[in-house]
Chain A
Amino acid sequence: MLEKLTASHPKAILGSVDRFGTLEIRIEKSKIADVVKTLRDDQELLFSILIDIVSVDYSTYAGWTGERFGVIYQLKSLALGHRVQLSVTAPEDEPIVPTISKLFGNADWLEREAFDQMGIRFAQHPNLKRLLNHHEFVGHPLRKDYPITRRQALSTNDSLMDEMEARLKEKGYV
Chain B
Amino acid sequence: MINPKTLLPIESSSEGLNAVQPKEKKDLVMVNLGPSHPATHGTLRVLCALDGESIVSAVTEIGYLHRGFEKDCEVHTFQQCIPYTDRLNYVSAIMNNVGFCKTVEKMMNIQVPERAIYLRVITCELNRIIDHLVCAGANLVDIGALTNFWYSFNVREKVYNILEKLCGARLTSSYTRIGGLSRDVYPAFGEEVTAVLKEIRKGVLDVQKLISKNRIFLDRTKDVCVISKEKAIAYGWTGPTLRACGVEYDLRKAEPYYHYADFKFDVPVGSRGDVYDRIFVRFLEIEESIHIIEQALRKLPDGPVMTGDKRVALPPKQQTYGNIEGLMNHFKIIMHGICPEPGVIYDATEAANGELGFTIVADGSKNPYRIKCRPPCFMNFAVFHEMIEGAMIADAVANLGSINIIAGELDR
Which residues of A come within 8 Å of B, CB atoms?
A: 19-20, 22, 24, 48-52, 54-57, 61-63, 72, 74, 78, 81, 83, 85, 87, 104-106, 108-109, 117, 130-134, 141-142, 148, 157-158, 160-161, 163-164, 167-168, 171-174
Extra contacts besides A52-B357, A158-B61 (20): CB < 8 Å? A49-B236, A51-B357, A52-B359, A52-B372, A56-B370, A57-B370, A62-B364, A72-B359, A74-B374, A105-B235, A133-B63, A141-B71, A148-B72, A161-B30, A163-B59, A168-B57, A171-B56, A173-B56, A174-B23, A174-B24
Which residues of B come within 8 Å of A, CB atoms?
A: 2, 4, 7, 22-25, 28, 30, 35, 45, 47, 49, 56-59, 61-63, 66, 68, 70-72, 74-75, 106-107, 231, 233-236, 238, 247, 249, 254-255, 342-348, 355, 357, 359, 361, 363-365, 369-370, 372, 374, 378-379, 382-383, 411-412
Cβ contact within 8 Å between A133 and B23: no
| Among candidates A50, A63, A172, residue contacting B236 with C-beta atoms closer than 8 Å | A50
| Among candidates A55, A72, A168, residue contacting B344 with C-beta atoms closer than 8 Å | A72
**Overall SS of chain B's interface:** mixed
By a CB distance below 8 angstroms, the chain A residues around B62 are 131-132
Nearest 7 pairs between A and B by C-beta? A132-B63, A132-B66, A105-B235, A106-B236, A54-B372, A52-B374, A109-B382
Cβ contact within 8 Å between A52 and B57: no
Bound-state CA distance A108–B254 (Å) is 27
Which among A49, A104, A108, A130 has the highest number of chain B CB atoms within 10 Å? A49
Cβ contact within 8 Å between B57 and A171: yes
By a CB distance below 8 angstroms, the chain A residues around B254 are 81
A-B contact pairs, 11 of them (CB 8 A): A49-B233, A55-B372, A56-B361, A106-B236, A106-B383, A130-B63, A133-B63, A142-B71, A148-B68, A148-B74, A148-B75
Cβ contact within 8 Å between A160 and B25: no
Say how far B304's CB is from chain A's closest CB, in angstroms. Answer: 25
Cβ contact within 8 Å between B234 and A105: yes
Cβ contact within 8 Å between A173 and B231: no
| Among candidates B35, B57, B234, B364, residue contacting A104 with C-beta atoms closer than 8 Å | B234
